[in-house]
A = this chain, B = another copy of it.
Amino acid sequence: MPPPATVRQSPVINLDRGDPSVFEPYWKKNGGKCTITISGHESLSYFSDPHSVCWYMEPELQEAIRRVHRIVGNARTEGYHVVVGTGSTVLFQAALYALSSSSAAVAQPMKVVCAAPYYSQYKEQVELLQSRLYEWGGDAKTYDDEDKTAPFIEVVTSPNNPDGSLREAMVANKTENGGKLIHDLAYYWPNYTPITRPADNDIMLFTLTKCTGHAGSRIGWALVKDVAVAQKMTSFMQITTIGVSKDSQLQAAKILQVVADDCESKAGAFGYGGDDADRTFFGECRKVMAGRWEKLREVVKGKDVFGLPKYPKRYCNFSGRYFQPAPAFGWLECKEGCDASALMKANNVLTRGGETFGASNRYTRITMIGREEEFDCFLERISGIHCVDEDKDKDKEGEEGLVVILDNNGDAHRGNGDSNGHGNWLHEVK
C-alpha cells in the first residue's frame, strides 16, 4: 500500500542521530567565556607533553579533565593515566587493541561482548577491519563462556546507550580469568543521571560530546589504571593518527575549566547541592532534559501504543538531591508484533531500530538531545498515533490517513513498558 498523501507532506524529523544540539541554547548564552584565540604560530609540533604517557596531550587539558571529575565526583582520577582521543570512539578501539595485543593473548581473536541492548556502533567498530586480534561476540547475557580460560573483553556502558539503564559487568567478573573490562561512561554526568559514586574501573571512557555537547571538537578521554594499557592505547593513537588536534584540546580545556569555575563559583569547592547545583551548567542542562522526559512521558502515558523504561530516583552527590535519570536517548517500546522504527518511519520520524542494538524491533531509539523544535514536533507527531485493535477495527484498514504496520516475528525481549498482547498497528497521520 503506498503511503497516504498526507505522509509526504509532513517534514522528516531525524531523531536517529545523537547530535547534542540540546546544549546549544546554553552555550549561545554562555559560550563567550570559553572563547579562545589560536594564532598561526601555534600547533606547529606533534608533541605536547613528553613527560606524560600520552605525549600528545596538552597539559591544560589533562588538568581540566582531572578537575572536572574531582568537582563532579563521577570518576576517580588519582592513580589514573589520562589518554586523549579524537572522540571516545577511537579510544574504544585503542582499548580493544591494548587489551587484545598483549603477549598473554591467545592465538584466537578475543571476543568482545556487551549486554543487549548495546550501543550499535561497538559491533561496527569491532568488525570494521576484520581483525585477527578481536571479534564481535554479541550479547554478554547469552555469551557462551564454556571455555573459562579464553580471555575476552566486556564493554559496560553505564548509563547505557540506548536504554539509559545503570549497568555492571555481566560476564567478566564471573569467570575465572576475570575477563577484561572497558567502561563507557559517556553519559555518567549529572545532566543525565544522578552521580551516586566516583567510578573507579580499570578503563573508563568519557567524551566532551555528551558532557558539554561539543561534538565537533572530537575530544574524548580515557582514565586508565594500568600504565602498560595506557601506553598501548597511546601507541595505537600514535600509529593511527599521530595524536589529537591541539586546537580542539585547548578549546576543550577551556570549556571544562569554565564549567568547573561555574560549579565552584556557584557553590564553592566541595559544597554543591540543592539550588546552587541547579544553577550550574549541569543543573541547567538537567532541567532541560528532565523537562523533555516529562513531556515525552505525558504523551506516551495517554496512549496504549508505547512504553518507556522507568528509572528509580537516586540521590545525586553532585546535585544534593534525589532525581530520576533523564537519559540522552529514549528507548521506546511498542507492543509485540510491531516494528517500532518502521512505525516511526511511516510517520516521517527517523529513529534507530532495536535490531541495531541487538534487541527486538519492537524497540526503537529516539534522541532526547536534539533541537527543541524538532523534539516538540516529534511529540505532536506521535500524539496522533493510535492503537487500533485488529479484530475490532478490521474495516478501518486501508483507510486514508492510516498506515498499517503488519505483524512480524518480534521476539519476546522484555522491556520496562506496560505493553502486552499482539495486533496490527494503525496510526493516523497528522
Question: Which residues of A does B touch, CB under 8 Å?
Answer: 17, 19-21, 23-24, 27-28, 30-48, 85-87, 89-90, 93, 97, 121, 124-125, 128-133, 209, 213-219, 236, 239-248, 251, 254-255, 258
Find chain B residues with CB under 8 A from A248 CB. Answer: 43, 245-248
A241 to B93, CA, bound (A): 10
Which of B32, B40, B240 has a CB less than 8 Å from the CB of A34?
B40
A20 to B242, CA, bound (A): 14
Instruction: Please tell me how many copies of the chain the complex holds.
Output: 2
**Can you pick out 25 interface pairs between chain A and chain B where the beta carbons lie within 8 Å of each other?**
A17-B46, A21-B45, A27-B40, A27-B41, A28-B41, A31-B40, A32-B39, A37-B38, A40-B255, A43-B248, A44-B214, A44-B215, A45-B215, A45-B216, A46-B216, A85-B241, A86-B86, A89-B239, A97-B128, A125-B239, A129-B132, A217-B245, A218-B243, A244-B245, A248-B248
- In the complex the two chains form, is A130's CB within 8 Å of B128's CB? no
- In the complex the two chains form, is B41's CB within 8 Å of A38's CB? no
Tell me the minimal C-beta distance from A251 to chain B in angstroms: 5
A36-B37, A40-B258, A131-B130 in contact; A217/B240 too (CB < 8 A)? no
A81 to B236, CA, bound (A): 28
Which B-chain residue is minimally distant from A246 (CB atoms)? B216
A86 to B90, CA, bound (A): 12
Which of B47, B121, B217 has a CB less than 8 Å from the CB of A246?
B217
Find chain B residues with CB under 8 A from A89 CB. Answer: 239-242
6 closest Cβ pairs, A-B complex: A34-B40, A31-B40, A43-B216, A31-B41, A245-B245, A216-B246
A105 to B330, CA, bound (A): 40
Q: Beyond the given A32-B39, A37-B37, please list 17 additional residue pairs across the A-B interface where CB-CB is below 8 A.
A: A20-B45, A32-B40, A34-B39, A37-B38, A40-B258, A43-B217, A45-B215, A86-B86, A86-B244, A90-B241, A97-B128, A128-B239, A129-B129, A131-B131, A132-B132, A240-B240, A244-B245
Find chain B residues with CB under 8 A from A41 CB. Answer: 24, 27-28, 31
